[in-house]
Structure formats: C-alpha cells, structure tokens
C-alpha cells in the first residue's frame, strides 16, 4: 500500500517504521530537525523488541511531493489538527482513507470541517510512544493496538486493507463493529488518566493506592461515561467498573502524555480531553464538575512554558 504519516511523531512514526519494514511505500511527513534526521539517518523505532531503522519511501514536509496515497495515518496533537488537515490535501484522492488516532472524541468531526466526507474514517490508539530525539521514536511497554473503521463502522475494502497491513506488520488492528463506542471507551478512561495524572502530578499507582485520588478518578469516569450515553453512544452498562479494573492493571508508573508534556513545559491537549468533557457535558445538559475542575486547573498550562521546555 501507499501510506502517508501526517505527521511522524509517536503515533505516525511507530506505524511508519512497522509498515515500511513490512514492505509498504510509506511517506513520512515531518518538519524541522526531525525531518532532517529522518532524511540523513532513517527513522528509528526504539522499543521493547529492539531497535529498527527504516528509510521511508519519501520523507518530506511537502505533501505535494508525495501525491495521492491509499491511506493517511493522521496523528498530530489536538491543536495542530486543522493546519495538518489542510496541509495533507494533496495526498488525498477519491478513495484515500484518512484515519485519525488523536486522543479525545472530536478528531473525525473536526477533520470533516476540512476534508471531504468520503475520505474521513475514525480511530483510536492504545500505545505509548514519543519522539525521543530527532528521527527516533521511543516505545514504552509492549502494548500497541490501533482500532479504526469507517465512521459508521460499515465494512470497507480500504479499511480491511489497512488493518491487514498493520496486523501483518506485527502490530494489532482488531476489527470493530462500533468505532464510536471504542473511541468513547478510550475517552472514558483517558479523560480520567489524563486529568488526574496531570493535575495531581501523580502516577496510576498513586491513583490506585490513594482513596482520595481513586475517588476523583472514578468520578471523572462516571461523568464522562454519562456524557457519552447522553449523546447516544452505546457504552456498555458496566464501563465504569471495567474502566476502574483496567486502570488497576495499567503499568504502575504510567502517566498520561498530558502529564508528561506538562512536566516538560510543552503545550498540553487539555482542550480536547478535560475541556472537551466539560464542553460536551454542557451541550448535553448534564453536569460534569470533576472534569470541569480538572480543566480549570490545567488550563493555565495549555500553551506550555517555553522557558521550561528549552
């Protein structure tokens, strides 16, 4: 397949290495020192199963150099979505599928404001990866699951082809019969992991061990699940308990990317996580005080602290 990563950070870079290794033509869209390092030294994935290096089919900051592709792995931080969507237009043909893996529940709808309806799918990722240094993607832990589908979850050849490519490349892309439920299920978990580990400057272990943090976590989970249900998402009746059980199984020292970015003084995706929960709750006419409080606490740090991140 011809696949582009827009862009080539934690999500795009991980899949770019796996898919290029498996023989696909992968175009990596990147910029600045990261692009220069990919061009000079290849793209490296440093993970628990070792170090892999690939030379992408094309590495560029100009999607026009790539032309039409079969699929675009769409992974940028929430605030970069609109610019990235506009920039990737030259790679989109009538049957190109654009799969967003952003955290939150609004990426597909936001893409639809910019890209043709026929091109936009929906997805979510469970993996822990980051750009460790220019040209190098670091994976923490073994888990790497990518769930995606057409927005209405109907089967399609292009989704089947991309799933097959990702599965054959050694990652995990299971089928789903309801992508909206899956995106929301991750949001139920992530709104709590993100909000509490970032605002509490704490780990999963602290949440599990400290009753006060555990209580806050469970309140966020309950609120976010209620928002989803009010919006008509078919979340299971036991998602609250299941989410707490999942939290207890997460690596004890884990924190959300939001917490890690906050600590590094980088911009954080608060608007698309705690902020989205607060905003969607208001729209649905229900109250979400825990999400609102976490949003307010994190909001001053939304744009990061450039002095700290230097």
Binding residues (CB under 6 A) for ligand KPL: these are 103, 125-128, 190, 193, 256-257
Question: 294 is written with which tokens?
Answer: 């976490």
Closest residue to ligand KPL: CB criterion: 257
185 binds, among ligand NDP, ligand KPL, none (CB under 5 to 8 A by kind): none
Residue closer to ligand NDP (CB basis): 63 or 228: 63
Pseudo-torsion of CA 36, 39, 45, 46, nearest 10°? -60
- Considering only 66, 99, 120, 131, the residue that binds ligand NDP (CB under 6 A) is 131
Which member of 7, 136, 165, 198 binds ligand NDP (CB under 6 A)?
7
Partner that binds at residue 269, options ligand NDP, ligand KPL, none, CB closer than 5 to 8 Å by kind:
ligand NDP
Our finding on whether 34 is near ligand NDP (CB under 6 A) is yes
User: Which of the choices ligand KPL, ligand NDP, none does residue 193 contact, using the CB cut-off of 5 to 8 A by kind?
Assistant: ligand KPL
How far apart are alpha carbons 217 and 204 in whole angstroms? 10
38 binds ligand NDP (CB under 6 A): no
Of 160, 164, 163, 220, the C-alpha closest to 189 is 220
Residue in 1, 22, 80, 296 binding ligand NDP, rule: CB under 6 A: 80
Output the six-digit token pair for 109.
Answer: 């709808």
Cβ atoms 39, 101 nearer than 8 A: no
Pairing relation of β-strands 50-54 and 43-47?
antiparallel
- Alpha helices by DSSP H, listed for the chain, are 10-21, 32-41, 81-87, 107-112, 157-168, 179-199, 204-209, 211-230, 239-249, 257-264, 274-284, 289-298, 306-309
Binding site for ligand NDP (CB under 6 A): 7, 9-12, 29-32, 34, 61, 75-78, 80, 83-84, 87, 101-103, 125, 127-131, 257, 269
């Amino acid at each position: 397949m011809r696949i582009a990563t827009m862009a080539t950070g934690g999500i795009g870079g991980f899949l770019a290495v796996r898919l290029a290794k498996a023989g696909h033509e992968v175009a990596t869209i990147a910029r600045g020192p990261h692009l220069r390092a990919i061009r000079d030294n290849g793209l490296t994935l440093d993970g628990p199963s070792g170090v892999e290096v690939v030379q992408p089919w094309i590495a560029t900051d100009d999607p026009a150099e790539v032309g039409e592709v079969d699929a675009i792995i769409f992974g940028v931080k929430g605030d970069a979505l609109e610019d990235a969507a506009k920039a990737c237009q030259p790679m989109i043909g009538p049957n190109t599928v654009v799969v967003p893996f952003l955290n939150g529940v609004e990426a597909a709808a936001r893409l639809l404001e910019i890209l043709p309806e026929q091109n936009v799918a929906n997805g979510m990722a469970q993996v822990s990866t980051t750009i460790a240094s220019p040209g190098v993607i670091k994976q923490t832990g073994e888990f790497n699951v990518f769930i995606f589908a057409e927005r209405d979850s109907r089967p399609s050849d292009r989704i089947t082809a991309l799933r097959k490519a990702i599965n054959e490349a050694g990652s995990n892309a299971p089928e789903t019969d309801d992508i909206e439920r899956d995106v929301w299920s991750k949001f139920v978990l992530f709104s709590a992991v993100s909000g509490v580990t970032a605002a509490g400057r704490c780990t999963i272990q602290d949440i599990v061990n400290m009753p006060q943090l555990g209580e806050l976590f469970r309140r966020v989970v309950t609120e976010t699940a209620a928002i989803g249900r009010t919006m008509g998402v078919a979340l299971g009746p036991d998602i609250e308990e299941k989410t707490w059980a999942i939290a207890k199984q997460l690596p004890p020292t884990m924190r959300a990317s939001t917490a890690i970015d906050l600590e590094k003084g980088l911009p954080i995706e608060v608007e698309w996580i705690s902020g989205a929960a607060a905003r969607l709750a208001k729209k649905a006419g229900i109250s979400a005080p825990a999400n609102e409080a976490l949003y307010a606490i994190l909001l001053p740090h939304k744009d990061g602290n450039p002095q700290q991140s230097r």
